[in-house]
Amino acid sequence: MKKIRLPLTEEEISGLKAGEGVLLSGTILTGRDCAHKRICEYLDRGEKLPFDFKGETIYYAGPCPAPAGKACGSCGPTTSARMDAFAPRLLDLGLKGMIGKGERSGEVERSIVKNHAVYFAAIGGAGALYGNAVKKSELVAFEDLLSEAVYRFEIEDFPCVVAIDCNGGNIYKK
């Protein structure tokens, strides 16, 4: 499988094709339902966010607590479609990659192409596998949201499939 270093470069994004398997390494941010809602509330109010997601890859996930000696507990992807209402806005502001599971709306697909971004599918239900691939975890924002808070992960060989590429190639529409 192709090895990809995060954060993504424009060149790397151009080389990704829907359907191909990739191993992701580097840094990502986590964020799911409540974090997305809160990010958009910050944007609505015109306030500065406590972190910058420009050029970043966001992982739609809410981990289990980390047992002693581990960076992270079980941590597989959650259903991406619930973030569809927020994703185009984040992509317009510079988000480059998303990792989740399942199909996206037409609006998100178009926004991925427009913003030269990419959507990776992680394997849902493989929480232990992904949790083990998290080598470092740091709380970034929204601690009160518990598992839904925003964390920065350092990941190593995170197995994913390119689900929607920057040309609109889509594994769910084969």
Partner 1 sequence: MRIIHSEEIENTVYALAKQACLSLIPSCKAALERAAERETEESAKFALSAVLQNAEVAAKENMAVCQDTGYAVILAEIGQAAHIEGKLFGDAVNDGVRRAYEDFYFRKSICDPLTRVNTADNTPAAVHTEIVAGDKISLTFLPKGFGSENMSRVYMLTPAKGVSGVIDAIVETVALAGSKPCPPVYVGVGIGGTFDTCTFLAKKALTREVGSHNPRKDVAEIEQTALERINALGIGPQGFGGKTTAIGVSCELAPTHIAGLPVAINIQCHCVRCAKAII
Site for partner 1, rule CB under 8 A: 19, 21, 33-34, 61-67, 70, 73-76, 78-79, 81, 101-103, 121, 123-129, 131-132, 145-148, 159, 161, 171-172, 174
Instruction: Give the nearest distance from C-beta 54 to partner 1 in angstroms.
Output: 27
Which value, to the nearest 10 degrees, does the dihedral of the CA atoms of residues 133, 140, 22, 87 take?
140
Strand partners, 79: 101
Q: Between 50 and 172, whose beta carbon lies closer to partner 1?
A: 172
Q: Between 1 and 92, whose beta carbon lies closer to partner 1?
A: 1
Q: Please report where in the chains the tokens 């709306």 appear, as a residue.
A: 105
CA 154 to CA 26: how far, in whole Å?
5
Pick from 41, 38, 6: nearest CA to 23: 6
Q: Between 9 and 172, whose beta carbon lies closer to partner 1?
A: 172
Q: Between 80 and 111, whose beta carbon lies closer to partner 1?
A: 80
Q: Is 111 helix (H, G, I), strand (E, B) or coil?
A: helix
Instruction: Give the nearest distance from C-beta 159 to partner 1 in angstroms.
Output: 6
